[in-house]
Copies of this chain bind each other. A is one copy, B any other.
């Protein structure tokens, strides 16, 4: 069983939505019909549909049926951009300074975030990123050795996302970010050139490839006077 049946069903329905064979508001076949079509049990059909509902592709009405939602593309008004790409969009020139670059064993926290076994090797890299010469963010990256066999400082000074997509030919899928506000400690104030205790955005980021594996875990601090997040959310 290479690919589970429920994923096949999911993918077929996603494809039909993508190709507009299924459009917003249209009713899809009932669970019993899909069960026959795919020759699986109803619970398997439900597993596929549940995932599509959770991901926002479909919605259900008890007693009526299952319907196609607004397309995902509409929801992804803002995609996942790297810092380099974001700054390019605003015509600002990015420079990166690598403050440290080491290979170490993953701590428990890092191993959990990167789905590694404890003590597997990870790169730990500290980087200060500036836009038009102004330091905007200080970040610590954790990257699994397993994926980045031959990482160099040169790559880190340029763009990691470009390297992954163009050189390693891997496909980035999505990220989960947590955004908090904290007061700058000594390290942060030093690297960002701001007074101690100034409010900064503290963001941790976990990014995943198409195959479901995480390839980076990043903790970062953004200067509040230089950066803010804009977010769209749909009801």
Query: What is A's interface to B at a CB cutoff of 8 Å?
Result: 25, 43, 50, 54, 56, 72, 74, 76-80, 108, 112, 172-183, 197-202, 222, 224, 228-235
Contacts and interface: CB of A to CB of B under 8 A. Distances in A.
A17 to B, nearest CB: 15
A50 B74 CA distance: 23
Contact of A174 (B179, B222, B234): B234
Interface of A is mostly: strand
Contacts of A229: 177-180, 229, 231
B182 A224 contact: yes
B197 A181 contact: no
A224 B180 contact: yes
Kindly report how many copies of this chain are found in the complex they form together.
2
A199 to B, nearest CB: 4
B230 A174 contact: no
| Listed residue (A54, A179, A224) with the most chain B CB atoms within 10 angstroms of its CB | A179
B224 A201 contact: no
Given A177-B230, A181-B202, 15 more contacts: A25-B108, A50-B50, A72-B234, A80-B233, A175-B232, A179-B230, A180-B224, A180-B228, A180-B229, A181-B182, A181-B224, A197-B197, A199-B199, A229-B231, A231-B231
Contacts of A234: 72, 76, 79-80, 173-174
Contacts of A76: 234
B199 A231 contact: no
Nearest to A69: B112
B179 A228 contact: yes
B235 A172 contact: yes
A78 B234 CA distance: 8
| Listed residue (A79, A176, A180, A182) with the most chain B CB atoms within 10 angstroms of its CB | A180
Contacts of A177: 229-233
